[in-house]
Amino acid sequence: MAQRPVAAHQAAVGVTMAAISAVDLAIWDILGKSVNKPVFKLLGGRTKERIPCYYSKLYRTDLKAMQEEAQKFLDQGFKAFKMRFGYGPAHLQEGVRENLRSVEAVREVIGYDCDLMLECYMGWNLEYARRMLPKLEKFEPRWLEEPVIADDIDGYAELSRLSSIPISGGEHEFSLYGFKQLLDKKAVSVVQYDTNRVGGITAAHKINALCEAFSVPVIPHAGQMHNYHLTMSTLASPMAEYFPIFDVEVGNELFWYIFDGEPVAENGFLQLRDDVPGLGLTLKTEYLDQFRIVE
Protein backbone atom coordinates (compact mmCIF):
# COMPACT_ATOMS: atom_id res chain seq x y z
CA MET A 1 0.00 0.00 0.00
CA ALA A 2 1.31 3.45 -0.86
CA GLN A 3 2.18 5.59 2.12
CA ARG A 4 1.31 9.24 2.56
CA PRO A 5 4.13 11.57 1.46
CA VAL A 6 5.59 12.77 4.74
CA ALA A 7 6.37 16.37 3.84
CA ALA A 8 3.06 16.94 2.07
CA HIS A 9 1.05 15.33 4.86
CA GLN A 10 2.70 17.26 7.68
CA ALA A 11 2.65 20.56 5.81
CA ALA A 12 -1.05 20.14 5.08
CA VAL A 13 -2.22 19.44 8.61
CA GLY A 14 0.58 20.05 11.11
CA VAL A 15 0.50 23.82 11.49
CA THR A 16 -3.29 23.97 11.33
CA MET A 17 -3.76 21.26 13.95
CA ALA A 18 -1.20 22.90 16.24
CA ALA A 19 -3.19 26.14 16.08
CA ILE A 20 -6.48 24.33 16.76
CA SER A 21 -4.83 22.51 19.66
CA ALA A 22 -3.69 25.74 21.28
CA VAL A 23 -7.20 27.22 21.14
CA ASP A 24 -8.74 24.02 22.46
CA LEU A 25 -6.34 23.88 25.41
CA ALA A 26 -7.21 27.46 26.30
CA ILE A 27 -10.94 26.69 26.15
CA TRP A 28 -10.58 23.74 28.54
CA ASP A 29 -8.58 25.89 30.94
CA ILE A 30 -11.30 28.56 30.84
CA LEU A 31 -14.03 25.95 31.32
CA GLY A 32 -12.32 24.55 34.39
CA LYS A 33 -11.85 27.98 35.91
CA SER A 34 -15.46 28.94 35.18
CA VAL A 35 -16.78 26.05 37.30
CA ASN A 36 -13.86 26.01 39.75
CA LYS A 37 -12.76 22.47 38.86
CA PRO A 38 -9.52 21.00 37.52
CA VAL A 39 -9.69 19.82 33.93
CA PHE A 40 -9.25 16.15 34.87
CA LYS A 41 -12.55 16.32 36.78
CA LEU A 42 -14.30 17.71 33.71
CA LEU A 43 -12.92 14.75 31.75
CA GLY A 44 -14.41 12.17 34.11
CA GLY A 45 -12.42 12.42 37.31
CA ARG A 46 -9.48 10.78 38.99
CA THR A 47 -8.66 7.23 37.84
CA LYS A 48 -5.49 6.84 39.89
CA GLU A 49 -4.32 8.11 43.24
CA ARG A 50 -1.20 9.58 41.62
CA ILE A 51 0.49 9.35 38.25
CA PRO A 52 3.55 7.11 37.76
CA CYS A 53 6.03 8.83 35.47
CA TYR A 54 9.17 7.89 33.63
CA TYR A 55 12.36 9.91 33.47
CA SER A 56 12.67 11.02 29.86
CA LYS A 57 16.15 12.26 29.10
CA LEU A 58 19.28 10.10 28.77
CA TYR A 59 20.38 11.47 25.41
CA ARG A 60 23.32 9.57 23.95
CA THR A 61 26.46 11.16 25.32
CA ASP A 62 29.52 9.65 26.95
CA LEU A 63 28.44 6.32 28.43
CA LYS A 64 29.81 7.14 31.87
CA ALA A 65 27.85 10.41 31.84
CA MET A 66 24.68 8.51 30.86
CA GLN A 67 25.23 6.09 33.72
CA GLU A 68 25.76 8.91 36.21
CA GLU A 69 22.56 10.61 35.00
CA ALA A 70 20.59 7.37 35.30
CA GLN A 71 21.96 6.77 38.80
CA LYS A 72 21.04 10.30 39.91
CA PHE A 73 17.38 9.84 39.00
CA LEU A 74 17.27 6.24 40.17
CA ASP A 75 18.32 7.61 43.56
CA GLN A 76 15.40 10.06 43.33
CA GLY A 77 12.96 7.16 43.15
CA PHE A 78 12.30 6.78 39.42
CA LYS A 79 11.51 3.23 38.31
CA ALA A 80 11.24 3.88 34.57
CA PHE A 81 13.66 5.56 32.16
CA LYS A 82 13.79 6.44 28.48
CA MET A 83 17.08 6.72 26.60
CA ARG A 84 17.88 7.90 23.08
CA PHE A 85 19.96 6.14 20.46
CA GLY A 86 22.83 8.06 18.92
CA TYR A 87 23.46 5.95 15.84
CA GLY A 88 21.57 4.80 12.75
CA PRO A 89 21.99 3.12 9.37
CA ALA A 90 24.68 5.57 8.21
CA HIS A 91 27.01 4.40 10.99
CA LEU A 92 27.10 0.80 9.75
CA GLN A 93 28.06 -2.05 12.09
CA GLU A 94 30.07 0.20 14.39
CA GLY A 95 26.89 2.17 15.06
CA VAL A 96 25.00 -1.04 15.83
CA ARG A 97 27.61 -1.93 18.44
CA GLU A 98 27.51 1.58 19.93
CA ASN A 99 23.72 1.46 20.23
CA LEU A 100 23.91 -1.86 22.04
CA ARG A 101 26.67 -0.58 24.34
CA SER A 102 24.50 2.36 25.38
CA VAL A 103 21.54 0.15 26.29
CA GLU A 104 23.80 -2.21 28.19
CA ALA A 105 25.36 0.71 30.07
CA VAL A 106 21.99 2.01 31.26
CA ARG A 107 20.79 -1.47 32.23
CA GLU A 108 23.94 -1.91 34.32
CA VAL A 109 22.78 1.01 36.46
CA ILE A 110 19.00 0.59 36.66
CA GLY A 111 18.90 -3.21 36.59
CA TYR A 112 15.93 -5.22 35.35
CA ASP A 113 13.41 -4.25 38.02
CA CYS A 114 13.03 -0.88 36.29
CA ASP A 115 11.40 -0.19 32.92
CA LEU A 116 13.65 0.94 30.09
CA MET A 117 12.23 2.58 26.97
CA LEU A 118 14.28 3.06 23.80
CA GLU A 119 13.79 6.10 21.54
CA CYS A 120 14.82 6.17 17.88
CA TYR A 121 13.01 9.37 16.82
CA MET A 122 12.49 8.06 13.28
CA GLY A 123 16.27 7.79 12.83
CA TRP A 124 16.23 4.24 11.49
CA ASN A 125 14.86 2.65 8.35
CA LEU A 126 12.93 -0.59 8.11
CA GLU A 127 15.93 -2.76 7.17
CA TYR A 128 18.03 -1.39 10.03
CA ALA A 129 15.18 -1.82 12.52
CA ARG A 130 14.71 -5.43 11.44
CA ARG A 131 18.37 -6.09 12.25
CA MET A 132 18.30 -4.25 15.57
CA LEU A 133 15.17 -5.75 17.11
CA PRO A 134 16.53 -9.27 17.77
CA LYS A 135 19.71 -7.79 19.27
CA LEU A 136 17.68 -5.60 21.67
CA GLU A 137 15.34 -8.29 22.99
CA LYS A 138 17.75 -9.47 25.70
CA PHE A 139 17.57 -6.01 27.31
CA GLU A 140 13.79 -6.38 27.83
CA PRO A 141 12.74 -2.88 26.74
CA ARG A 142 9.22 -1.78 27.59
CA TRP A 143 8.97 -0.33 24.10
CA LEU A 144 10.94 0.82 21.06
CA GLU A 145 9.77 4.29 20.05
CA GLU A 146 9.38 5.60 16.49
CA PRO A 147 11.90 3.30 14.81
CA VAL A 148 10.94 4.45 11.29
CA ILE A 149 9.39 7.50 9.68
CA ALA A 150 5.95 8.24 11.11
CA ASP A 151 3.99 7.73 7.90
CA ASP A 152 5.35 4.22 7.25
CA ILE A 153 2.40 2.55 8.93
CA ASP A 154 2.98 -0.75 7.16
CA GLY A 155 6.57 -0.67 8.38
CA TYR A 156 5.38 -0.21 11.97
CA ALA A 157 2.96 -3.10 11.51
CA GLU A 158 5.73 -5.36 10.17
CA LEU A 159 8.04 -4.56 13.07
CA SER A 160 5.22 -5.17 15.55
CA ARG A 161 4.73 -8.65 14.09
CA LEU A 162 8.45 -9.35 13.95
CA SER A 163 9.46 -9.01 17.59
CA SER A 164 8.27 -9.37 21.16
CA ILE A 165 9.40 -5.77 21.77
CA PRO A 166 6.38 -3.45 21.79
CA ILE A 167 6.57 -0.74 19.13
CA SER A 168 5.33 2.72 20.09
CA GLY A 169 4.53 5.86 18.12
CA GLY A 170 1.95 8.47 17.26
CA GLU A 171 3.50 11.78 18.27
CA HIS A 172 3.56 12.75 14.59
CA GLU A 173 0.00 11.68 13.87
CA PHE A 174 -2.56 14.47 13.64
CA SER A 175 -6.07 13.02 13.65
CA LEU A 176 -8.39 10.52 15.30
CA TYR A 177 -8.70 8.74 11.95
CA GLY A 178 -4.94 8.33 11.69
CA PHE A 179 -4.87 6.65 15.10
CA LYS A 180 -7.70 4.35 14.08
CA GLN A 181 -5.62 3.29 11.09
CA LEU A 182 -2.63 2.58 13.36
CA LEU A 183 -4.82 0.48 15.64
CA ASP A 184 -6.67 -1.34 12.85
CA LYS A 185 -3.34 -2.40 11.35
CA LYS A 186 -1.92 -3.36 14.77
CA ALA A 187 0.97 -1.09 13.92
CA VAL A 188 1.74 0.08 17.47
CA SER A 189 1.45 -1.47 20.91
CA VAL A 190 1.68 1.90 22.70
CA VAL A 191 0.07 5.12 21.45
CA GLN A 192 1.90 8.40 22.09
CA TYR A 193 -0.16 11.22 20.67
CA ASP A 194 0.92 14.81 21.16
CA THR A 195 -1.96 16.86 22.56
CA ASN A 196 -0.42 19.96 21.00
CA ARG A 197 -0.76 18.39 17.53
CA VAL A 198 -3.94 16.31 17.45
CA GLY A 199 -6.47 19.05 18.18
CA GLY A 200 -6.05 19.58 21.90
CA ILE A 201 -7.78 17.94 24.83
CA THR A 202 -11.06 17.43 22.96
CA ALA A 203 -9.42 15.25 20.31
CA ALA A 204 -7.05 13.55 22.76
CA HIS A 205 -9.99 12.51 24.96
CA LYS A 206 -11.53 10.75 21.94
CA ILE A 207 -8.23 9.04 21.12
CA ASN A 208 -8.04 7.79 24.72
CA ALA A 209 -11.47 6.19 24.36
CA LEU A 210 -10.51 4.64 21.02
CA CYS A 211 -7.30 3.16 22.44
CA GLU A 212 -9.11 1.83 25.49
CA ALA A 213 -11.51 0.00 23.16
CA PHE A 214 -8.51 -1.59 21.42
CA SER A 215 -6.79 -2.38 24.77
CA VAL A 216 -3.76 -0.34 23.70
CA PRO A 217 -2.15 1.87 26.37
CA VAL A 218 -1.80 5.60 25.81
CA ILE A 219 1.20 7.55 27.09
CA PRO A 220 1.08 11.09 25.67
CA HIS A 221 4.22 12.55 24.14
CA ALA A 222 6.14 14.92 26.44
CA GLY A 223 5.30 16.03 29.94
CA GLN A 224 3.23 19.18 30.42
CA MET A 225 0.13 19.83 32.43
CA HIS A 226 -2.50 19.13 29.79
CA ASN A 227 -1.08 15.63 29.32
CA TYR A 228 -1.18 14.99 33.07
CA HIS A 229 -4.87 15.90 33.22
CA LEU A 230 -5.59 13.51 30.36
CA THR A 231 -3.51 10.76 31.98
CA MET A 232 -5.21 11.22 35.34
CA SER A 233 -8.68 10.97 33.82
CA THR A 234 -8.35 7.78 31.75
CA LEU A 235 -7.69 4.14 32.56
CA ALA A 236 -6.03 3.87 29.14
CA SER A 237 -2.96 5.77 30.43
CA PRO A 238 -0.76 3.84 32.87
CA MET A 239 1.96 6.49 33.20
CA ALA A 240 3.22 9.87 32.01
CA GLU A 241 6.40 11.11 30.41
CA TYR A 242 8.38 13.49 32.61
CA PHE A 243 11.11 16.00 31.86
CA PRO A 244 12.67 17.48 35.01
CA ILE A 245 13.99 21.01 35.20
CA PHE A 246 17.14 21.41 33.10
CA ASP A 247 18.87 24.33 31.46
CA VAL A 248 16.32 25.33 28.87
CA GLU A 249 16.38 23.76 25.43
CA VAL A 250 13.97 24.41 22.60
CA GLY A 251 11.05 22.16 23.40
CA ASN A 252 11.01 19.76 26.27
CA GLU A 253 12.01 21.96 29.21
CA LEU A 254 10.69 25.29 27.95
CA PHE A 255 7.45 25.03 29.92
CA TRP A 256 9.34 25.19 33.22
CA TYR A 257 10.46 28.69 32.26
CA ILE A 258 7.14 30.12 31.08
CA PHE A 259 4.61 28.55 33.49
CA ASP A 260 4.14 28.24 37.22
CA GLY A 261 2.19 25.24 38.47
CA GLU A 262 3.91 22.30 36.76
CA PRO A 263 4.05 19.43 39.29
CA VAL A 264 7.47 18.18 40.33
CA ALA A 265 7.83 14.41 40.48
CA GLU A 266 8.48 12.83 43.88
CA ASN A 267 9.74 9.24 44.02
CA GLY A 268 8.73 8.75 40.41
CA PHE A 269 5.14 9.98 40.82
CA LEU A 270 3.20 13.13 39.95
CA GLN A 271 0.18 14.53 41.74
CA LEU A 272 -2.60 16.86 40.56
CA ARG A 273 -4.46 18.93 43.09
CA ASP A 274 -8.23 18.72 43.38
CA ASP A 275 -8.56 22.34 44.50
CA VAL A 276 -6.79 24.10 41.59
CA PRO A 277 -9.18 24.91 38.70
CA GLY A 278 -8.48 24.63 35.00
CA LEU A 279 -5.10 23.36 33.96
CA GLY A 280 -3.54 24.81 37.10
CA LEU A 281 -1.01 27.03 35.33
CA THR A 282 -0.15 30.71 35.50
CA LEU A 283 2.35 32.64 33.42
CA LYS A 284 5.82 33.03 34.88
CA THR A 285 7.46 36.42 34.38
CA GLU A 286 10.86 36.10 36.01
CA TYR A 287 12.58 34.78 32.87
CA LEU A 288 10.94 37.08 30.30
CA ASP A 289 14.11 39.09 29.75
CA GLN A 290 15.90 35.89 28.69
CA PHE A 291 13.62 35.20 25.70
CA ARG A 292 13.09 36.99 22.44
CA ILE A 293 9.70 36.63 20.73
CA VAL A 294 9.92 36.55 16.94
CA GLU A 295 6.77 37.23 14.92
Confidence of residue 149 (pLDDT cuts 50, 70, 90): very high
pLDDT digits (tens, 9 = 90+) for 37-81: 999 999 999 999 999 999 998 999 999 999 999 999 999 999 999
Residue among 9, 172, 205, 221 flagged as catalytic? 221
The predicted model gives 94-118 an average pLDDT of: 98
In this predicted structure, the answer to whether residue 251 has a pLDDT above a threshold of 70 is no
Q: Is 226 a known active-site residue?
A: no
Residue 276: per-residue pLDDT: 97
Residue 2: pLDDT over 60: no
Quote the pLDDT of residue 78: 98
CB 230, CB 43: distance < 8 Å: yes
Provide the pLDDT confidence category of residue 227 given band limits of 50, 70 and 90.
very high
Determine what percent of the chain is predicted with pLDDT higher than 90: 84
Q: Tens digit of pLDDT for each residue in 151-210?
A: 999 999 999 999 999 999 999 999 999 999 999 999 999 999 999 999 999 999 999 999
Q: Is the pLDDT of residue 248 over 70?
A: no
Residue 288 has what pLDDT?
Answer: 80
User: Can you give the pLDDT at residue 287?
Assistant: 81
Query: Over the stretch 255-270, which tens digit does the pLDDT of each residue have?
Result: 788 889 999 999 999 9
The band of 12, judged by pLDDT with boundaries at 50, 70 and 90, is low
Task: Give pLDDT, residue 10.
Answer: 55
**Is the pLDDT reported for residue 221 higher than 90?**
yes
Q: What is the mean pLDDT of residues 213-232?
A: 96
Q: How far apart are CA 118 and CA 53, in angstroms?
A: 15
pLDDT at residue 285 is higher than 80: yes
